[in-house]
Amino acid sequence: MRMPRSPSGWTMAVFGVLAAVMGLVGLAAPDVQLALLGLEAVDGERPEGDHTTAFLAASSMAALNMGVYYVLAALADWRPFFRWTVPFRLLTCTVFTLLVLAGTAPAPFLGIGLWEGLGAVATASALRREKAPAANAQAV
């Protein structure tokens, strides 16, 4: 079985697996996903024009796809991709946090922001540590 080859790869793999699992949860058990997000599940039929389940399916499919991309990038040890994700994950952290602070999103969305922010910091830190020995070896 193939495994990530670097600490930064492991940060990407863990994030990817979690994203894929959450995507699968949203597709297989939408009410569970709604509860995890702090949103109310509706018993029975939704009113006409309520596209909550369609939006949840679309975002869950995006999470599943993203998770698979992250795992594949981790297995390939594709460090340029790892670097590209850091600012965008920090942006996602900022947006979700601001949505909660503005009252647009429920408090559990802070967890999404925290997950993205901590993941970005972990990946950036791992990339920095991996680069440091190479820079020191060249200086010698």
pLDDT, tens digit (0-9, with 9 covering 90-100), for 39-70 = 887 777 878 888 888 999 999 999 999 999 99
pLDDT for residue 104: 94
Q: Which ranges in the chain belong to alpha helices (H)?
A: 7-28, 30-36, 52-76, 79-101, 109-139
Answer whether residue 140 shows pLDDT above 70: no
What is the structure's pLDDT at 107?
A: 92
pLDDT tens for each residue of 6-39: 999 999 999 999 999 999 999 999 999 998 888 8
pLDDT tens column, 32-45: 999 888 888 777 78
Side chain identity at residue 74, one-letter code: A
CB contact at 8 A, 119 and 88? no
Q: Which of 58, 80, 59, 81 is nearest to 70 (CA)?
A: 81
pLDDT band with cut points at 50, 70 and 90 for residue 1: confident
Q: Is the pLDDT of residue 138 over 60?
A: no
Does residue 137 register a pLDDT over 60? no
CA end-to-end span of the chain, whole Å? 37
